[in-house]
Amino acid sequence: MVDDVLAEVERRMRASIDALKRDLANIRTGRASGALVENLQVDYYGAPTPLNQLASITAPEARLLVIAPWDKGSIGAIEKAVQKSELNLNPSNDGKVVRIPIPQLTEERRRDLTKLVRQRVEEDRIAIRNIRRDGINDVRELEQEKMIGADESKRAQERLQAITDRHIQEADQIGAQKEQEILTV
């Protein structure tokens, strides 16, 4: 019973950490990375489609992304999606590929991005604590239904706290790495 609750909490917290990693991968650093644009929604024949399903994305240089669509007719839509995104990038195309130069980040923009990273990490920490709260409620419910004793409930809550602390620490480490990446010139 308790092990099922703990396993579910662990799974949900792991999913939260994975979501944070994906979210932070979309925050731009000074270097080109395919993760920056791979999930952009492109209006492909009237249907919003992730860019990584329409083209291959490569970073041949530190400050350049090259998007090679499989359907050459989608180049205009890809270019438009990049322009409309919040990334502030200016793509250009030669009829075969879309090239996106990644400009150097200004000091002010770096500070803004680190604030954004901290905000996303804090949101993830809140999500993790909410998952812990749900787990504690489940354990207390088991105790009230006399399925487990008070001692086992207390031990389960302590284990829940240890799992929570571990995941919050991991979220903080991921955030610190991303901040360091952003601040590196």
40, pLDDT greater than 90: no
pLDDT for 79 equals 87
Reading the block at residue 149, the tokens are: 């004793």
- Residue ranges of domains in the chain: 2-25+106-183, 34-101
Average confidence score pLDDT of the chain: 88
Q: What is the mean pLDDT of residues 24-38?
A: 75
pLDDT for 28 equals 67
**How far, in Å, are 22, 31, 69, 105, 114 from residue 111 at the CA level?**
21, 16, 34, 10, 5
**How far, in Å, are 11, 67, 70, 108, 145 from residue 102 at the CA level?**
36, 13, 23, 16, 59
Q: In terms of Cα–Cα distance, which of 120, 131, 128 is closest to 177?
A: 120
Strand spans (E) along the chain: 41-44, 47-50, 55-61, 64-69, 92-93, 98-101
**Residue showing tokens 């650093």:** 29
Tell me: the pLDDT tens digits for 87-137? Answer: 778 888 888 888 988 877 788 878 888 898 999 999 999 999 999 999 999
Contacts 24+ apart (CB under 8 A), 89-97: 89/37, 91/67, 96/68, 96/72, 97/66, 97/67, 97/68, 97/69
CATH 1.10.132.20 fits 2-25+106-183, yes or no: yes
Residues in the chain: 185
Tell me which fold the domain 34-101 belongs to. Gyrase A; domain 2 (3.30.1360)
46, pLDDT greater than 90: no
pLDDT for 30 equals 65
176, pLDDT greater than 90: yes
Q: Give percent of the chain with pLDDT exceeding 70.
A: 98
Give the pLDDT band (50/70/90) at residue 72: confident
